[in-house]
Amino acid sequence: MKRLFPLLLLLPCLAHGGEPPAAARQEIAHLVAYLKESGCQFNRNGKWYSSAEAVDHINEKYQYLLKKDLVSSAEDFIDRAASQSSMSGKPYQVKCGGNVPAKSGPWLMQELGRYRAGKK
């Protein structure tokens, strides 16, 4: 039984199936919708993309990270899927209207804070 105890502790993780908790999934869905509906341009490795193209790319990264069980929170999603290129390490940027480009990580974290504040 002593040998089985550590394995029993892992069961919830195995049953988890790589999916973040429901609250995190809702927050991630909100962030993806926020980016898509923003109409902002998205810079990845020196090239500007539409918000719809950015969402497609970020969703692909997110699905890959889920398979690796690397996203358990909205912060993980922002940090690992939506902040920088996993190939070059260069930060992603967003440019909304005539505003100066901003790093996507802090931009999404700010929206996550607004979203959470609105749910209280």
Please give the pLDDT value at position 17.
55
Q: What is the pLDDT of residues 58-97, one digit of tens each?
A: 999 999 999 999 999 999 999 999 999 999 999 999 999 9
Is residue 10, in this structure, part of any structural domain at all?
Answer: no
Residue 108: inside a domain: yes
What H or E segment, with its residue span, contains residue 34?
A: helix 22-38
CA dihedral 101, 31, 19, 63 (to 10 degrees): -50
How does strand 41-44 pair with strand 102-103? unpaired
Of residues 86, 80, 84, 76, the one with CA closest to residue 112? 76
Q: Which residues contact 14 (CB under 8 A, 6 or more apart)?
A: none
Pull the structure tokens for residue 114: 């607004």
- What is the predicted pLDDT for the residue at 119? 83
Q: What is the pLDDT of residues 12-39, one digit of tens each?
A: 444 445 789 999 999 999 999 999 999 9
Residue 74 sits in which domain range? 18-118
What's the rounded mean pLDDT across residues 102-106?
A: 98
Q: Phi first, then psi: what are they for 89, rounded to 5°? A: 80, 0
- The more confident residue out of 119 and 34 is 34
Q: Is residue 5 part of a domain?
A: no
Q: What is the pLDDT of residue 12?
A: 46
Domain count, the chain: 1
Q: What is the pTM of this model?
A: 0.83
In a domain, residue 6? The reply is no
In a domain, 2, yes or no: no
